Amino acid sequence: MSARILLTGGTGFFGRALLRFFLESGMSDDSSVCVLSRDPKRFQAAYPQLAISENISFVRADIEDRQSLPWHRQFTHVLHAATDSTVGPMLSPLKRFHQIVDGTRHLLDLAVATGAQRFLLTSSGGIYGPQPSDLEAIPEDWAGSPPLAQASSAYSQAKRAAEHLCALYREEHNLQTVVARCFAFVGLDLPLDAHFAIGNFIRDALYADAIIVAGDGTPVRTYLDQKDLARWLWYLLLQGQDGEAYNVGSDRVISIGDLARLVRDLLAPEKSVRIVGAADPTALRNRYVPSISKIKKLHDLHVEVSLEQSILSTVYSYR
């Protein structure tokens, strides 16, 4: 199908994966992607292979600055993936809340003004709040919520507000909206020096004397490969059910301690894994695990890249 797609966050972890998929998937020649970026020239210089297609264009803009947005263009689809997960935690909670909510509202206004028919929001598994230790995997209809009174909930509450804005614009403007609640990921664009445990373990396996686990190793996570992430998001943008939210993540469960040992075994079997934090037998086990049965059942989307393959491809990109 022919589509004129506006992509925000196109230069980040999600965006680079989405652009690669667009270039490699054989989408129709008359489809195009317009990428919003605060510094297009810098991105094009750093990733020329993602900027060479005549079907990909760049616009210098900031989602927080309404006037900078391409109001004069026409789009059929908007994929809003602009959330700074790497630098974002360094912002104040209030600044981060406004960045997410105001940016989403500006993009929804733009979608309506430019004639877009569909809007995909990349939300977060954080909207569910703390996962009970006896809940194996969080389904989309689970009614959990982050604590309202805590400033540390700003990111998750902002994502909840952004999801609600999508529902309001769907009702008011007949804009088809779909929500992707994203969990944890790994892939060739993963930063190794940020706050992502799996990236830190890979860095340690490559460059340190030992692989360090800062906590007690008991938190439980899942990791979806960047390629699967991009494939699922493109599918949801084009064919996800209007008004629905979908968990996007892997269903392979692994503790942080076992993840460190897996990285060690794959990359540096001669190195040790050091768990620095002391275990608290009275503490609830920290879980962040999605149920992906809905996206499997309704759209037949499955995890295709194993965690082992993801780790090795991440390392290959750095070497």
C-alpha distances in Å from residue 267, one per residue of 182, 252, 260: 27, 20, 11
Q: What is the pLDDT of residue 84?
A: 65
Report percent pLDDT > 90 for the chain.
87
pLDDT of residue 87: 62
Q: What is the pLDDT of residue 26?
A: 61
Q: Classify 122 in phi/psi space as left (phi over 0), alpha (psi -120 to 50) or beta.
A: beta
Q: What is the mean pLDDT of residues 135-139?
A: 97
pLDDT tens-digit map of 102-133? 999 999 999 999 999 999 999 999 999 999 98
pLDDT at 27 (0 to 100): 64
State the pLDDT confidence band at 277, using cuts at 50, 70 and 90. Answer: confident
Domain ranges of the chain: 4-185+224-250+289-304
Mean predicted confidence (pLDDT) in 212-235: 96
pLDDT tens-digit profile of 38-89? 999 999 999 999 988 889 999 999 999 999 999 999 999 999 998 766 565 7
What is the CATH superfamily name and number for domain 4-185+224-250+289-304? NAD(P)-binding Rossmann-like Domain (3.40.50.720)
User: Average pLDDT, whole number, for the chain?
Assistant: 93
Strands (E), 133-252: 176-182, 185-186, 210-213, 220-221, 224-225, 245-248
Q: What is the phi/psi pair of residue 296, to 5°? A: -70, -45
> Which pLDDT score, from 0 to 100, does residue 90 have?
80
Percent of the chain with pLDDT over 70: 94
Rounded CA-CA distance 183/176 in Å is: 23
Mean pLDDT on 259-281: 92
- Angstrom distance (rounded) from CA 261 to CA 267: 10
Burial of 64 (0-12, 13-18, 19+ CB in 10 A): middle
Q: For residues 204-213, give the mean pLDDT.
A: 96
